[in-house]
């Protein structure tokens, strides 16, 4: 019983000593100037569109941080989606645009993602596009009037 009490007191002593040592060496973290990317929207819905329509959409973002923003890569989930992004630095408070082109020659539902990588504190952001592509409806051409045959 004496051993248990002795070990307990020794453990408490060392625990309190190490806690004090940590408090003395801990320094307040400096507020670093970092970039932060904030998108107006993370999703774009094309809705119902036709085969061959323009498949371009845009995602507008703003550097809401305190340092210049550098987008290092934009990677689509498949080859039918092609993103383009600004290669220059985006100053704090300034806006930029990521343009995405989807191949609308593929029929049916689609749901794709684009991963944006940057030097921002939120360095990986995922954007989404979706929609439905159908065939263009056949245009009805008015039937030409047939000449009436004379009754004999």
Report the CATH number that the domain containing residue 100 is assigned in CATH: 2.60.40.10
Mean pLDDT, range 10-34, rounded to an integer: 57
SS3 of 50-80: the string is ECCCCCEEEEEEEECCCCCECEEEEEECCCC
Give the model's pLDDT for residue 32: 80
Question: Residue 68: inside a domain, yes or no?
Answer: yes
d(CA 46, CA 134): 12
Is the model's pLDDT at 107 over the cut of 50? Answer: yes
Question: Residue 140: inside a domain, yes or no?
Answer: no
pTM of the model: 0.70
Question: Residue 150: inside a domain, yes or no?
Answer: no
Give the model's pLDDT for residue 42: 97
d(CA 46, CA 109): 10
Total count of domains within the chain? 1
109 CB neighbour count, 10 Å cutoff: 9
What residue numbers bound the domain in which 120 lies?
A: 37-134
Question: Residue 1: inside a domain, yes or no?
Answer: no
Question: Residue 48: inside a domain, yes or no?
Answer: yes
d(CA 146, CA 46): 43
Mean pLDDT over each residue of the chain, to the nearest integer: 83
CB 126 within 8 A of CB 42: yes
Question: Residue 60: inside a domain, yes or no?
Answer: yes
Question: Residue 16: inside a domain, yes or no?
Answer: no
Question: Residue 88: inside a domain, yes or no?
Answer: yes
């Amino acid at each position: 019983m004496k051993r248990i009490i002795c070990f307990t007191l020794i453990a408490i002593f060392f625990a309190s000593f190490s806690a004090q040592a940590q408090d003395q060496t801990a320094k307040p973290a400096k507020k670093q100037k970092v970039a932060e990317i904030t998108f107006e929207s993370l999703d774009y819905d094309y809705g119902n569109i036709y085969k061959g329509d323009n498949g371009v959409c845009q995602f507008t973002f703003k550097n809401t941080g305190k340092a210049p923003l550098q987008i290092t890569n934009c990677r689509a989930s498949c080859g039918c989606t092609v993103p383009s992004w600004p290669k220059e630095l985006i100053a704090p408070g300034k806006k930029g645009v990521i343009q995405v082109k989807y191949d609308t020659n593929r029929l049916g539902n689609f749901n794709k993602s684009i991963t944006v990588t940057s030097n921002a504190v939120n360095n990986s952001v995922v954007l989404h596009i979706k929609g439905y592509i159908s065939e263009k409806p056949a245009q009805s051409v008015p039937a030409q009037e047939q000449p009436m045959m004379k009754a004999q």
